[in-house]
Amino acid sequence: MSDRHNGSTWFEKLAKLFSDEPESREDLETFLREAQAQDLIDKDAFLMIQGVLNVSEARVRDVMIPKVQMSCVDEADNLEIILAHMLEAAHSRYPVLSAESDEFVGILLAKDVLRAVVKQNLTDKSQLQELYRMPVLVSESKRLNVLLREFKNSRNHMALVVDEYGEVAGLVTIEDVLEQIVGDIEDEHDEDEEHIQKHLSGAYAVEAITSLPEFNQFFNTTFDDDMLETIGGFIAKHLGKIPETGEQFEMHGLHFTVQKADERRVETFLVEEKSVLDEVEEPEPLDVETKKQPATEPNVEIHSEAVSLSDKRRASSKTDNAS
pLDDT digits (tens, 9 = 90+) for 245-268: 889 999 988 999 998 876 667 888
> For the segment 130-143, what is each residue's pLDDT rounded down to a tens digit?
899 999 999 999 99
The mean pLDDT of the chain is 77
Neighbours of 253 (CB within 10 A): 11
- Provide the residue ranges of all domains of the chain, joining segments of one domain with +: 2-41, 62-182, 196-277, 285-323
pLDDT surpassing 80 at residue 17: no
Strands 65-66, 104-109: pairing kind: unpaired
Q: Is residue 260 classed as helix, strand or coil in its secondary structure?
A: strand
283-309 pLDDT, tens per residue?
444 444 433 344 444 333 333 333 343
Q: How confident is the model at residue 118 (pLDDT cuts 50, 70, 90)?
A: confident
Q: Quick one: pLDDT at residue 16?
A: 52
Q: What is the distance between the alpha carbons of residues 311 and 308, in angstroms, rounded to a whole number?
A: 5
CA-nearest of 203, 271, 202 to 234 is 271
C-alpha to C-alpha distance for 106 and 275, rounded to whole angstroms: 48
State whether the Cα torsion 38-43-45-48 is positive or negative: positive
Q: Which residues pair with 257 in a beta bridge?
A: 248, 270
Centre a 10 Å sphere on the Cβ of residue 224 and count the other Cβ atoms it contains: 10
How many residues are listed for the chain in this entry? Answer: 323
pLDDT digits (tens, 9 = 90+) for 32-49: 788 778 778 787 787 888
pLDDT band at residue 160 using 50, 70 and 90 as cut-offs: very high
Q: What are phi and psi of 165, to 5 degrees?
A: -95, 5
More confident residue, 123 or 281: 123
Please state the pTM of the whole predicted model.
Answer: 0.53
The pLDDT tens digits for 83-95 are 888 888 888 999 9
Instruction: Report which DSSP code applies to 244.
Output: P
The CATH fold of domain 62-182: CBS-domain (3.10.580)
- Give pLDDT, residue 30: 80
Confidence of residue 127 (pLDDT cuts 50, 70, 90): confident
Q: Which CATH number is 196-277 given? A: 3.30.465.10
